[in-house]
Structure 1
Amino acid sequence: MRRIVLMGVCVMLLASGCNNDNNDGGDDISPDRRVTATLNGTSAVPTNTSAAMGAVDGNYNEATNILRLNVTYQDSMMVGDTLTGDSLMAFVPTGWHIYKSAAANELGESMFDLGSTFSSPYQYTDTLTEAQERDLLDGLYYLNVHTAAYPEGEIRGQLRVE
Structure 2
Amino acid sequence: MQTRQLLKIAALAAGLTLALAGCSALSTGNSNTVVLGGNLSGASEVPPVNTAGSGTVEARFDKSTQVLTWKVSFTGLSGPATAAHFHGPAAPGSNAGVVIPFAGSTSPIEGSATLTPAQAADLLAGKWYANVHTAANKGGEVRAQISVR
TM over 0.5: yes
The partner residue of 2:94 within 76, 96, 106 is 106
**Bigger helix share:** 2
Any residues of structure 2 matched to 1:36-75 within 5 Å, and which?
36-75=37-76
Count of aligned positions: 126
Runs (5+) with no aligned partner, structure 2:
1-20
* Amino acid across the alignment from 1:109: G
Q: Deviations over 1:26-59 (max 9, x none)?
A: x896211111110010001110110011101121
Structure 2 length-normalised TM: 0.77
Any residues of structure 2 matched to 1:4-153 within 5 Å, and which?
30-76=31-77, 90-115=78-103, 117-153=104-140
Could you tell me how far 1:119 is from its partner in structure 2? 2.0
Structure 1 length-normalised TM: 0.71
CA contact (8 A) 1:40 1:157 kept: yes
Counterpart CA distance in 2 for 1:29 and 1:71 is 22
CA contact (8 A) 1:52 1:91 kept: no
Q: Percent identity?
A: 31
Could you tell me how far 1:71 is from its partner in structure 2? 0.7
- Shift in CA distance, 160/118, structure 1 to aligned 2, threshold 3 Å: same
CA contact (8 A) 1:45 1:105 kept: yes
Q: Which of 47-56 and 100-109 deviates more?
A: 100-109
Partner residue, 1:10: none
